[in-house]
């Protein structure tokens, strides 16, 4: 990844996201007026989790002329240790990933793969043990689209992803934290966690609806 992308988010900031549920990130997004959640992109294996800087591949309609000269394997070889590959499928129903490609990405150091396409060879991908998030299984071959950009802004699952953004995935789905707002999101999450814990205690202690709703309403107010 270009050095300028790495400089946006320090390793200390990235590490703080590794235990944060995606749901708390979306709560923080609502406070900050941000958007970055993917639709229908879910983990292959329950319990999977990834929190890493994004490297991106954009797919578009097949042209077969003047496209990228590099193969997908060449692009995957550029991934640095601990980064997540995010592939924007361009709306295709094709599968864009099999177990050989996933294994090569893992060998190159990828911490996980996120795509809004279908994937195949899912038994092999499960055995690999690397977090994989997609829109499910599919055997339709990749004929409709082709790679058209690497390390560019893409759309994946309805979310914009830029190289160097933090991509966070768990059982609930995938969110994308803009690199330039990562510290702001963490700042809001600190208070949201406290509110959630308070609501949990109130429910456990049999508190009334108004007291509970008073706390829930605080989740919508930016911490500032």
Instruction: Return d(Cα 74, Cα 69) in angstroms, integer.
Output: 10
- CATH assignment, 3-180: 3.50.30.40
Six-digit token string for 103 = 């294994």
CA quadruple 25, 29, 32, 36: dihedral sign? positive
Region 143-167 average pLDDT: 96
Region 45-74 average pLDDT: 93
Instruction: Return d(Cα 196, Cα 215) in angstroms, integer.
Output: 8
Instruction: Return d(Cα 55, Cα 160) in angstroms, integer.
Output: 13
pLDDT bracket for residue 4 (50, 70, 90) = very low
> Would the pLDDT of 9 be above 80?
no
Q: Is the distance from CB of 171 to CB of 162 less than 8 angstroms?
A: no
Q: Is the distance from CB of 87 to CB of 55 less than 8 angstroms?
A: no
pLDDT score at 175? 98
Six-digit token string for 107 = 């060998």
Say which residues have a Cβ less than 8 Å from residue 158's Cβ, sequence separation at least 6.
37, 38, 39, 116
> Would the pLDDT of 6 be above 50?
no
* CA proximity to 54, closest of 34, 70, 36: 36
> Would the pLDDT of 127 be above 80?
yes
Phi, psi at 133, each rounded to 5°: -120, 130
Choose the weakest-confidence range: 8-12, 50-54, 137-141, 171-175. Answer: 8-12
Phi, psi at 170, each rounded to 5°: -150, -165
pLDDT score at 8? 62
pLDDT bracket for residue 65 (50, 70, 90) = confident
Instruction: Return d(Cα 88, Cα 110) in angstroms, integer.
Output: 17
pLDDT bracket for residue 42 (50, 70, 90) = very high
Say which residues have a Cβ less than 8 Å from residue 81's Cβ, sequence separation at least 6.
109
């Amino acid at each position: 990844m270009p050095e300028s992308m790495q400089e946006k988010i320090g390793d200390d900031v990235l590490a703080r996201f590794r235990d944060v549920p995606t749901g708390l990130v979306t709560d923080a997004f609502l406070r900050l007026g941000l958007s970055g959640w993917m639709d229908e992109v879910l983990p292959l294996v329950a319990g999977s989790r990834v929190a890493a800087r994004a490297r991106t591949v954009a797919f578009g309609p097949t042209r077969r002329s003047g496209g990228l000269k590099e193969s997908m394997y060449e692009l995957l070889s550029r991934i640095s240790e601990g980064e997540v590959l995010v592939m924007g499928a361009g709306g295709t129903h094709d599968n864009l990933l099999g177990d050989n490609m996933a294994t090569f990405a893992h060998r190159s150091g990828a911490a996980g793969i996120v795509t809004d396409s279908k994937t195949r060879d899912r038994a092999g991908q499960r055995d690999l043990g690397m977090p994989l998030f997609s829109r499910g299984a599919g055997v339709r071959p990749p004929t409709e689209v082709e790679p058209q950009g690497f390390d560019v802004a893409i759309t994946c699952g309805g979310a914009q992803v830029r190289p160097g953004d933090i991509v966070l995935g768990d059982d609930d789905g995938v969110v994308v934290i803009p690199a330039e707002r990562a510290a702001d999101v963490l700042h809001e999450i600190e208070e949201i966690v406290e509110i959630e814990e308070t609501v949990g205690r109130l429910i456990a202690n049999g508190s009334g609806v108004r007291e509970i709703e008073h706390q829930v309403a605080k989740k919508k107010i930016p911490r500032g």
